[in-house]
C-alpha cells in the first residue's frame, strides 16, 4: 500500500486509533518513576495509526546523560526548538516534579524533519498527564521569526527558561539564529543544549558542529556528550549559562 493511501487510512480510522493510543500511552506513563523509565517509554512506545513511535532520533546514551543533567537543575521552565516525533519532548516532561511550563516550537514542514499532524498533537498534550501543575504549549511556528519569539515571551510572562534544547534548523545560520534569539531568555545557571554537534557524514546541511565549535569557546562552561565509537552523526553539546 502506498504512503498516501496509508495516510488516508490512518486519518479515516483516527478516532479508533486515538482511543487505543491514548490508553496504551497512559498505561506506559504509569510505569515512569525515574528519568531512565521515561527514556524507556520513549524508546518502547509504539501506538497505532498517526500515533506510531515516540523513539527520538537520538543516541540513547547521549540523551539519557542530557536528561540527567536537566533533572539535576530541577527546571521549572523548559523550551524545546524542534520536536518532530515527540520523543525528547516526552522525556523533558518527566524530568522534574518542579516543571511548570513546557513549550515546544516546531515548524511544520521544516527542513530537518519538522512538523507533526494536528491529530498527533493530542498525544503530545498527554505527556504531562501525570504533571497536573505543568502547562504544556505546542507552538507550530517558525522559531526564527520575531513573531514566534514574541509569542514565547508572552507565554513566559517574565519567567526565565531553565533549559533550552535547540534541535530545529541544523544549518549554520539557522542554529546560530535560534541561539542568538532565545539564549538571552535562559537564566544564569540554566542549560542550553544542541543536538548533532558532530559532523554528519551523510548530510551536508547538518552544520550544527560549525556553530558549536565557535560557541563552546566563548566563555560558558561547555560539555560534549558523544557516543563511542563515533558513527558519523549525533553528539550533544551542553552550555551552562553564566
Q: Which domains does the chain have, with CATH numbers?
A: 54-240 (3.40.50.150)
Cell representation of residue 24: 496504551
Bigger pLDDT: 113 vs 10: 10
Dihedral angle, C-alpha 50, 55, 56, 61, nearest 10 °: 180
What digits encode the pLDDT tens for the residues 11-53?
A: 889 999 999 999 999 999 999 999 999 999 999 999 999 999 9
Radius of gyration of the chain from Cα atoms? 17
Q: How much is the pTM?
A: 0.95
Confidence of residue 1 (pLDDT cuts 50, 70, 90): low
CA distance 85 to 19: 19
CA distance 108 to 111: 9
Terminal Cα-to-Cα distance of the chain (whole angstroms): 54
Q: What percent of the chain has pLDDT over 70?
A: 98
How big is the chain, counted in residues? Answer: 242
What digits encode the pLDDT tens for the residues 112-154?
A: 666 899 999 999 999 999 999 999 999 999 999 999 999 999 9
Q: What is the pLDDT of residue 48?
A: 96
What digits encode the pLDDT tens for the residues 67-98?
A: 999 999 999 999 999 999 999 999 999 999 99
CA 60 to chain centre: 14
Amino acid at each position: 500500500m502506498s504512503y498516501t493511501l496509508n495516510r488516508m487510512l490512518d486519518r479515516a480510522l483516527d478516532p479508533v486509533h486515538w482511543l487505543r493510543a491514548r490508553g496504551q500511552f497512559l498505561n506506559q506513563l504509569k510505569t515512569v518513576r525515574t528519568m531512565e523509565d521515561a527514556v524507556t517509554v520513549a524508546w518502547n512506545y509504539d501506538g497505532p495509526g498517526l500515533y506510531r513511535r515516540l523513539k527520538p532520533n537520538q543516541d540513547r546514551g547521549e540523551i539519557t546523560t542530557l536528561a540527567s543533567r536537566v533533572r539535576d537543575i530541577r527546571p521549572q521552565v523548559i523550551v524545546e526548538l524542534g520536536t518532530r516525533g515527540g520523543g525528547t519532548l516526552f522525556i523533558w516532561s518527566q524530568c522534574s516534579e518542579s516543571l511548570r511550563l513546557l513549550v515546544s516550537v516546531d515548524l511544520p514542514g521544516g527542513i530537518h524533519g519538522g512538523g507533526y499532524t494536528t491529530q498527533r498533537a493530542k498525544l503530545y498534550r498527554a505527556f504531562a498527564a501525570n504533571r497536573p501543575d505543568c502547562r504544556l504549549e505546542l507552538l507550530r511556528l517558525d522559531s526564527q521569526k520575531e513573531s514566534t519569539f514574541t509569542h514565547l515571551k508572552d507565554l513566559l510572562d517574565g519567567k526565565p527558561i531553565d533549559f533550552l534544547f535547540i534541535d530545529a534548523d541544523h544549518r549554520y545560520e539557522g542554529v546560530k539564529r535560534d541561539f542568538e534569539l532565545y539564549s538571552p531568555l535562559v537564566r544564569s545557571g540554566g542549560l542550553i543544549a544542541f543536538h548533532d554537534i558532530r559532523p554528519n557524514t551523510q548530510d551536508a546541511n547538518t552544520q550544527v558542529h560549525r556553530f558549536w565549535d565557535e560557541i563552546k569557546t566563548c566563555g560558558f562552561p561547555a560539555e560534549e556528550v558523544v557516543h563511542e565509537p563515533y558513527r558519523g552523526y549525533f553528539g550533544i553539546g551542553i552550555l551552562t549559562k553564566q
